[in-house]
Amino acid sequence: MTSQNPIVLASAKYPKPAERTFQYGTAGFRMKASLLDSVVYRVGLLAALRSRKLNGQRIGVMITASHNPPEDNGVKLVDPMGEMLEGSWETYATTLANAPSDQALLEIYDKLTSDLNIKTENKARVVFARDTRASGPRLVSALLAALEASGTEYTDYKLLTTPQLHYITRCLNTKSTPYEYGEPTEQGYYQKIAAAFKAATGTRKFNGPVTVDCANGVGGPKLRELIKYLSSASEGGLEIKVVNDNVVEPERLNHQCGADFVKTNQRPPPSSHAAPSARCASLDGDADRLMYYFNDSDSSFHLLDGDRIATLAALFIGDLARNAGLGEKIKVGVVQTAYANGASTSYITQDLRLPVVCTPTGVKHLHHAATRFDVGVYFEANGHGTVVFSDLALKRIGKYEPQSPAQASALDTLRALTALINQTVGDALSDLLLVEVILAHKAWGPKEWHLTYTDLPNRLGRIEVADRNIFKTTDAERKLESPPGVQAQIDALVGKYKNGRSFVRASGTEEAVRVYAEAATRGEADDLAAKVADVVKRAGV
């Protein structure tokens, strides 16, 4: 009798809010935590299906809402190699989440099982973790109910950063293969990164400490843990000052601090008292985004965002490959979105002479495009990104016999970077150490880094309209194809500004439309943004 089915029985405890329609968005499901129990339960079922479909490979489930306010939460799935869930499965997630009743849910679950030829006798294995939000433990119970009901083996990794769960998922699925990624534990993560950081740094010196604002999220305790594995400043290691790491009061999460605050407000967290030219960095709530910034001697604030991290990494890795004698064999490329500052794109193509690809927003798109290069550097302007090395590049870097001491030294550093960089997903802790290694090698402070190019003044706005879905884009989100006529109005405005560029797209994570504009001066960028916003408001009513 179907009413006795464990999936139906457990589902009754996590009823779907009737009037709600859910969507697996840019970064999974994300909303007020109070609305999320049924979604998490159903995501648990999907994780079971995905694992069975892939012959029992581990699937990761991360419960987090990243930079969103403390009362929000979210859930997303991690594929076996530590990548984001394959695109076609997002639709199944959405369908399951919207099943109107427990019985309908079971029918969709069974239909997916047969449509996707999933062998029910296969094992299902899931690993999961959460950030520090107060709603996390409650949502974990909903997830557990689904894993039990679907006969899934699971491991609860408790509190982790999102990238740590991605790392562990890949380690588990590559264990005892030629592609073994590392020890599938939190400790293994720290050991791997710390050893690689030491090797990549070599004898270089750090120019003073770096202060890291942890957004009062899971990155705080995890960074403190990582520090235990690194050489101390007295041993010549990097001094890391941890601030905003209060996870005891969950309401402080992302409040007046963190990577999103810094990027959106273009100013340091109010609690920051950094000395001139001191290196400061901010993580977001689940520690997959990183922002750097500093105050100049005249107190002017400078942001070193994802574009800056991408250009720094591309410059350094390109030089290392050449110096190691692999310049011809390893092609470095950069992947950005339309939100990348136009000056960064010109710097990459004209100064670094590297190819740039532009993809739609969302790291899954960038990651995918980056894997087409031997070494693909990808970052969103908001600080989410990493570097991926192709199997061929890894093989070449691993096998190459250096022809001189200089080549040997560059090769050693390059090899260390392949282990330091989390290749599964953007990882603020790993990216932080990557930036520190590069600055130490170049003997650069934030000022020298900032001098590599001059950002075009820009403005990112957010407009609430009746229905954001009428705004449909093409050309990697750089042009609107609907509503009709709106793009022509934007083009006409852009044409009036020196170095003007502007585009409009519906957010994938919020009920809003985003307007981006840049131009030669601050006044012109603001003006262009305001005028384009007016066009959007008129079109959106």
Residues contributing to the site for ligand GN1 (CB under 6 A): 26-27, 66, 339, 361-363, 380, 382, 384, 507-510, 514
CA distance linking residue 82 with residue 162, whole number of Å: 10
Across the beta sheet with 301-304, what order do the strands follow? 240-243, 210-213, 279-283, 290-295, 301-304
Q: Which stretch binds Mg ion (CB under 5 A): 2-10, 52-60, 65-73, 504-512?
A: 65-73
Minimal distance, residue 441 CB to ligand GN1, in Å: 29
Q: Is the dihedral of CA 156, 157, 162, 164 positive or negative?
A: negative
CA distance linking residue 303 with residue 281, whole number of Å: 10
499 in a labelled binding site: no
Minimal distance, residue 80 CB to Mg ion, in Å: 21
514 in a labelled binding site: yes
**Residue 473 interacting entry, from Mg ion, ligand GN1, none, C-beta within 5 to 8 Å by type:** none
231 in a labelled binding site: no
State yes or no: residue 509 binds Mg ion (CB under 5 A). Answer: no
Across the beta sheet with 458-463, what order do the strands follow? 458-463, 513-518, 501-506
Cα first-last separation, the chain: 50
272 in a labelled binding site: no
**Residue 363 interacting entry, from Mg ion, ligand GN1, none, C-beta within 5 to 8 Å by type:** ligand GN1
Minimal distance, residue 244 CB to Mg ion, in Å: 15
> For residues 145 and 262, which CB has a smaller minimum distance to ligand GN1 in the complex?
262
455 in a labelled binding site: no
Residue among 87, 12, 2, 85 at smallest CA distance from 43: 85
CA distance linking residue 335 with residue 345, whole number of Å: 10
131 in a labelled binding site: no
CA distance linking residue 186 with residue 287, whole number of Å: 14
> For residues 26 and 418, which CB has a smaller minimum distance to ligand GN1 in the complex?
26
**Residue 112 interacting entry, from ligand GN1, Mg ion, none, C-beta within 5 to 8 Å by type:** none
Strand-pair category, 125-130 with 153-159: parallel
**Residue 288 interacting entry, from ligand GN1, Mg ion, none, C-beta within 5 to 8 Å by type:** Mg ion
Active-site entry in 38, 66, 150, 282? 66
Q: Which residue's CB comes closest to ligand GN1?
A: 508
State yes or no: residue 380 binds Mg ion (CB under 5 A). Answer: no
Backbone angles phi, psi at 507, to 5 degrees: -65, 150
Minimal distance, residue 230 CB to ligand GN1, in Å: 28
**Residue 57 interacting entry, from Mg ion, ligand GN1, none, C-beta within 5 to 8 Å by type:** none
H runs (alpha helix) in 150-238: 162-174, 186-201, 219-229
H runs (alpha helix) in 357-485: 363-370, 391-399, 405-420, 428-442, 446-450
The strand ranges marked E within 373-523 are 375-379, 385-389, 458-463, 472-474, 479-482, 501-506, 513-518
Exactly one of 26, 51, 66, 323 binds Mg ion (CB under 5 A); which one?
Answer: 66
CA atoms within a 13 Å half-sphere pointing along the CA-CB vector of 453: 23
Q: Which stretch binds Mg ion (CB under 5 A): 66-74, 374-382, 394-402, 469-477?
A: 66-74
Q: Is 218 exposed, middle or buried (0-12, 13-18, 19+ CB in 10 A)?
A: buried
**Residue 79 interacting entry, from Mg ion, ligand GN1, none, C-beta within 5 to 8 Å by type:** none
Minimal distance, residue 267 CB to ligand GN1, in Å: 17
533 in a labelled binding site: no
> For residues 217 and 376, which CB has a smaller minimum distance to Mg ion in the complex?
217
- 3 included as an active-site residue: no
State yes or no: residue 286 binds Mg ion (CB under 5 A). Answer: yes
- 191-217 burial, b for 16+ CB within 10 Å, e for fewer? ebbbebbbbbbeebebbeebbbbbbbb
44 in a labelled binding site: no
What does each C-alpha distance from 494 to 263, 345, 533 come to in angstroms?
Answer: 24, 18, 12
Q: Which residues are annotated as a binding site?
A: 66, 284, 286, 288, 380-382, 505-509, 514
Q: Which residues are annotated as a binding site for Mg(2+)?
A: 66, 284, 286, 288
Which residues are annotated as catalytic? 66
Q: Which residues bind Mg ion (CB under 5 A)?
A: 66, 284, 286, 288
Q: Which residues are annotated as a binding site for substrate?
A: 380-382, 505-509, 514
